[in-house]
Amino acid sequence: MKRQPGPFMTIIFACAVAFGATMATAPRTLAQSKPLSIVALGDSLSAGYGLPAEAAFPAKLEKALKAKGHAVEIVNAGVSGDTASAGLDRLDWSIPDGTDGVIVELGANDMLRGLDPAVPRRAIEEIVERLKARDIPVMLAGMVATPNLGATYARSFDGLYPEIAEKHDLVLYPFFLDGVAGETNLNLPDGLHPTAQGVEVIVSRILPVVERFLATLTKR
C-alpha cells in the first residue's frame, strides 16, 4: 500500500511550489545577483557639469531606483559639450557589450549652437538604429528649444524627439529639464546647467518614466 504524505509534508510541498512560482515571475530586484546595466549617453546635463560625481544625474538616478528596489547600475557616459553627432561618433566605445539599455540625452548643444534640427535628428536616429541592431533598447530624453530661436526652429527641433520615439517605438521623456529650465535657484550661475538640487528635481520627475523603461527590459 502506497504511503500518503502527512499534513506537515503537504504544507512544505505547497510552500515550495508557491515560492518557485513567485521567483519565476518576480521582477529583477536588489536581492538578485546581476543588476541591469543602463548607460546614460548624453552631454553635460548627464555628465554633471560643475558638480561632484555623486551629484550627477546618473548617480542620483541610480540611487533613486535602488531606493525603490530596482537592481540597476547607471553608467555615466555624458561628455560636456557633445552634440548629437559627437555622441554618435563615440557610440561604439561608450556603449559596451552587455549593456541592457541606454538613456539617450543629446541635442541641447546642437540647439544652443543654432544647428539645423535635421542634423541632430539624423544623428539621434542613427544612434537609435545602431543600438537596436545590437539589440539594446533605448529610452529617449527630449529637449526643448529656447524661445529666442523662434517658433519655426522650435517646431522643427522640439518635434524631432517625439517623432523618433514614435517611429522606433521608444519610451520617451519629452523634456529632460522639465521643472528646472529657467528656475534661477535650480541652475548654476550660467543659467544652463542644473545645481545638485536641480538634478534632484530632474530625477524625481523622470523616475516614473525610467521605471516604465526598466519594466520593458525585464520582460525581454
Give catalytic status of residue 190 as yes or no.
yes
* Whole-angstrom distance, CA of residue 138 vs CA of residue 176: 15
151: cell is: 517658433
Task: Report the amino acid identity of residue 167.
Answer: K
Which burial class, exposed, middle or buried, applies to 16 when counting CB atoms under 10 A from its CB (0-12, 13-18, 19+)?
exposed
Q: Which of 92, 94, 193, 204 is catalytic?
A: 193
For residue 193, indicate whether it is catalytic: yes
Is 169 catalytic? The answer is no
Catalytic residue among 43, 44, 46, 100: 44
Residue tagged active-site, from 33, 97, 135, 190: 190
How many Cβ atoms from other residues are within 10 Å of residue 90's Cβ? 13
DSSP state of 143: -
Residues marked as catalytic:
44, 190, 193
